[in-house]
């Protein structure tokens, strides 16, 4: 599958995405990556997608959670990746996690999809008034590291690396969102 990043659509999840999104979730588990945040048993797909839309509006957020959006990249009808955008940071995200998290389906990798997802996330943040995004990745995740750098990321001067909850070293980058100042 050849992907041209200019052909990608970025949009929120909808009712018709259930099977593709669940398949993507299953595939990305091999990388220890959760494509979906659909953990609660007993929640229908439509309830889940509604929950994601609500979170983007800042509604029905769990205690201590920040407003966030969830978008998929779609290539000719196929979901090839996702980006989650946190429009603000809390203490935990300000340490590890940051504003943006993305994942790309294995067969769609090395074609610029992650960089396109990251740029879309940066635009979302710029539109929400955020000037610079914190993006963190495992120190040994070469693909994610290169993606962040390709999007203009610079290591945090004060705290370039931290240990996450599992004790794994994470790199902390700041990326300008391009918001006109
Ligand atoms: C990391 C990941 C998102 C990269 O996705 P991708 O679509 O292949 O990345 P892109 O094609 O947009 O590449 C962006 C940059 O990263 C580089 N890159 C991508 N994968 C790479 C790898 N495995 N090793 C080294 N560089 C890599 C590309 O060459 C490109 O750099 P360039 O602009 O200097 O040429 C993807 O491998 C993935 O989903 N992994 C599992 C989930 C994950 O790790 N998510 C990130 C959590 S922080």
Ligand 1 atom showing the smallest separation from residue 113 Cα: 7
Q: Are strands 132-138 and 100-104 parallel, antiparallel or unpaired?
A: unpaired
What is the model's pTM?
0.96
pLDDT given at position 110: 97
What is the spatial distance between Cα 97 and Cα 94, in angstroms, rounded to a whole number?
Answer: 7
pLDDT of residue 38 exceeding 90, the answer is no
Decide if domain 5-176 falls under CATH 3.40.630.30: yes
First and final C-alpha spacing in the chain:
39
Q: Count Cβ atoms below 10 Å from residue 111 Cβ, excluding itself.
A: 18
pLDDT tens readout for residues 103-161: 999 999 999 999 999 999 999 999 999 999 999 999 999 999 999 999 999 999 999 99
pLDDT tens readout for residues 11-34: 999 999 999 999 999 999 999 999
* CA 61 / ligand 1 centre spacing (Å): 30
* CA 107 / ligand 1 centre spacing (Å): 12
* CA 111 / ligand 1 centre spacing (Å): 9
The full DSSP string for 56-96 is HTT-SPPTT---EEEEEEEETTEEEEEEEEESS--TTTTTT
pLDDT of residue 171 exceeding 80, the answer is yes
**For the chain, what is the mean pLDDT?**
96
The ranges assigned to domains in the chain are 5-176
What is the spatial distance between Cα 51 and Cα 41, in angstroms, rounded to a whole number?
Answer: 14
């Amino acid at each position: 599958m050849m992907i041209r990043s200019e052909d990608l659509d970025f949009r929120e999840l909808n009712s018709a995405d259930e099977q593709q999104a669940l398949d993507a979730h299953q595939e990305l588990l091999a990388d220890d990556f959760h494509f979906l945040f659909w953990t609660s048993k007993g929640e229908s797909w439509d309830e889940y997608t509604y929950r994601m839309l609500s979170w983007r509006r800042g509604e029905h957020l769990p205690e201590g959670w920040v407003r966030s959006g969830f978008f998929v990249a779609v290539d000719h009808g196929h979901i090839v990746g996702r980006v989650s955008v946190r429009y603000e940071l809390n203490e935990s995200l300000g340490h590890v996690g940051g504003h943006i998290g993305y994942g790309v389906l294995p067969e769609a990798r090395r074609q610029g999809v992650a960089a396109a997802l990251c740029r879309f996330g940066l635009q979302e943040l710029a539109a929400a008034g955020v000037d610079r995004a914190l993006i963190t990745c495992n120190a040994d995740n070469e693909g994610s590291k290169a993606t962040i750098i390709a999007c203009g990321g610079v290591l945090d001067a004060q705290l370039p690396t931290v240990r996450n909850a599992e004790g794994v070293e994470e790199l902390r980058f700041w990326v300008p969102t391009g918001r006109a100042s």
